[in-house]
Amino acid sequence: MPEATFDDELVGRARDWIADDPDPETRAELDSIVEAALAGDAEASADLADRFAGTLTFGTAGLRGELGPGPNRMNLAVVIRAAAGIARWIRESDPEDGPSRGVAVCFDARRGSRAFAEATAEVLAAAGIRALVLPGPLPTPVLAFVVRHLGTAAGVMVTASHNPARDNGYKVYDGSGRQIVAPTDAAIAAGIAAVERVSDVERTGPDDPDIVRLDSAVVDAYVRRAAAVGRAPETRSVRLATTALHGVGAATLRRVLAAAGFDPPVEVPEQADPDPDFPTVAFPNPEEPGALDRAVAVAATSGADVLLANDPDADRLGVAVPDPTLGDRSDPAGWRILRGDEIGVILADHLLRHGGFPSGAVLATTIVSSTLLSRMAASAGFPFRETLTGFKWITRAPREGETLGFGYEEALGYCVGDVVADKDGMSAAVVFAEAVAVLAAQGRTVLDVLDDLAREHGVHLTGQWSARVEGSDGMTRLSAAMDRLRASPPSHLAGRPVARIEDLLTGGAGSELPPSDVLVLHLDGGRVVVRPSGTEPKLKCYVEVVQQVVDADMPAARSAAETAMAELIAAIAAAIPLS
C-alpha cells in the first residue's frame, strides 16, 4: 500500500471532522472546501491546510478565533469540547459544591454566540452541573457580576469582545469572578484534550431541569451596583453622547446612566442596536483609528460635553472630549480622543479627590501602562501595584487583607471598586461622566486635570511600536529576536543611557511579577517595554517618556515629550533585529 501523502492525510482528517461535526452548516462548508481542494483549487487547498494547521489553544484568555469549521476555528464542535473541559475541571476541583453552585453562562450578539451558549449549558447539565443561563445577549461585565452575585463555581461568556465580525470567542471566569489563570487554564485544556470525539460528549435538551433560565433580576442587580459607583451623585449636569459600536452595551448602559441620575444620552442611532456585521466600522474597537469618527460627529453636532464609547461587549471605555486648541466644539475636528492612560488617570484623580478609598485599598495598573498612576498613588498615600498585562493580573494585585480600589490598563480597561472583578466599561462610564459634570460646575475640563497632573508629576506620554514577523516560521524567528535582544541589549536609546534592564523571564532585578517573556529597559526620563504577542508573530514595544514642565510652559513640555517619543520609537525599532 503506497504511503499516504500530506494531502491525503489532510483530506482524511477533514473527512473525520465532518463526520463528527454536530453542526450541519459547518459540515457542509467544510465538505465544499474539501471538494474544491480535491478539484485542484489552490486557494481552497491553502484554506483547508490553515483550518487544520493546529487547534485553537485554550489559555487564560479562553478561546478566540475566526468562525468556521475545523480545529483552528471557532465552531460548535470546538465549543462542546471546551464545555466538556470545564465540566471536568469543576468536578475535579470542587466535586462537592461545584456542580450545585453551577456555571453562569452568557453570550453577546455575534454570529453563533447564542448557539454556543446553549450547547455549553447542555453539556454542563448532562454532566450534572447546573447551568444558569443569563437573559442575554448581554455585556461581559454583567456575566462577571453574576458569578459573584450568585456565588457560582464559574462563568462562561461567549464573546469576541472588540475583534472583527468574522471572530467569536469563549471567556471563562473562576468562582471569584475573575478571569482564570494558571493552573486552571491547563486543567481545562487537559479536559478538552481528553475528548476523543465530539459525538461522545453527552448533551441534554434545552429544557433539562439543570438548565436554569435566569430572569432580568440579575441584570437589575448589576444596574443598581454599577449606578452607585459615583462619588458626587448630586452633580449630574452634563450632556452625554454614547455609542455601543453595534454591540450589546447600549440598553444596559442606558439603564445604568438613568439609575445614576444622568439625563438620557444622545446615542449614535445606527450603532445602538446589536449587529454582528458591525456595518459602520471597519474594526469595532474604540482604540482603532476611525472607529469613533461617526460617534464624534454626533457628539459635536448634538452639543455634548463628552463622548462615552463602549466596545461591543461593553467591558472597555473610550472617551472623546472637546479640545479648544483643535477647533470649535460643534465641529468634529475640535474634538480629541483620549488615550487609555489619560482616561485612567482622570478616573483615578476624580476618585482620589472625591472620597478616596477605604483603608487597605490598592491602585494597580500594568507594566505596559503609564507610570503616572504610581506617582499619584504615592502622593495620596495609597499602595500601588504593577502587574503583567491583562485584567486577570490586575484583579489579583491586592494581597491578603487588601482590596482593589481602582485598576486600569492602557487598552481602555477600567475597574472601579468592587462591582465586578474585571474591567467594566459601564461603571467606568458613570465615574467619567460624573468627573466631567463636577469639573464643569467648577468651570474646568478633564484637559485641565491632565495639565494639573503634568505640572505636578511631569508629562507622561505613552506610545507604541510593533512589527510583524512574516513567514510560516514567524513565531520561531520572533523568539530568536527576543533571545538576541537579551544577549545584546542596547546601552543607549536615542542618546539616553539604558540605566537598568529588567528581564521578567528570569525574575529581573527583584521583580515580584510571575515569569513572562518581557524585557523592560529603564531610561532616564522614560522606559521601553518589549514583549512578543502570545497569539501572533508580532513584537510589541510600549514606550513612555516623562518630561518635566519647566517655568509652567506646558506647550513646550508636551512638544519636547512628543519629540522624545518619536526618537525613542525610531531607536528601539532600529535596535531590534527581526531577521
- Of all helices (H) and strands (E), which one includes residue 27? helix 24-38
Alpha-carbon distance of 418 to 404, in angstroms, equals 7
CB-neighbour burial class of residue 43 (10 A; exposed 0-12, middle 13-18, buried 19+): exposed
Query: Choosing from 161, 369, 370, 427, which is the catalytic residue?
Result: 161
Distance of alpha carbon 6 from alpha carbon 150, whole angstroms = 51
C-alpha 520/C-alpha 498 separation (Å) is: 10
Contact 46, 72 (CB under 8 A): no
With helix as H, strand as E and coil as C, how does 269-325 read? HHHHCCCCCCCCCCCCCCCCCCCCHHHHHHHHHCCCCEEEEECCCCCEEEEEEECCC
Which ranges of 102-183 would DSSP assign to H, the alpha helix?
A: 113-126, 140-150
Alpha-carbon distance 214 to 222, whole Å?
Answer: 13
Residues 155 and 152: their CA atoms lie apart, in Å, by 7
Residue 62 is given by DSSP the state B
The DSSP secondary structure of 319-369, one letter per residue, reads EEEE-TTTS-TTSGGGEEEPPHHHHHHHHHHHHHHTT---TTEEEEEETTS
Dihedral sign for Cα 139, 144, 149, 151, please: positive
Give me 149's grid cell.
452575585
Has 161 been annotated as catalytic?
A: yes
Say if residues 56 and 35 touch (Cβ distance below 8 Å): no
CA-based nearest residue to 265, from 416, 429, 155: 429
Please list the residues that pair with 167 across neighbouring strands. Answer: 66
- What is the CB-side half-sphere exposure of residue 552 using CA atoms within 13 A? 0
The b/e string for 198-235 (b: 16+ C-beta within 10 A; e otherwise) is: beebebbeeebebbbebeeebbeebbebbbebbbbeeb
Half-sphere exposure of 147 (CA within 13 A, CB side): 28
* Spatial contact of 434 and 353, defined as CB atoms under 8 Å apart: no
Q: Which residues are catalytic?
A: 161
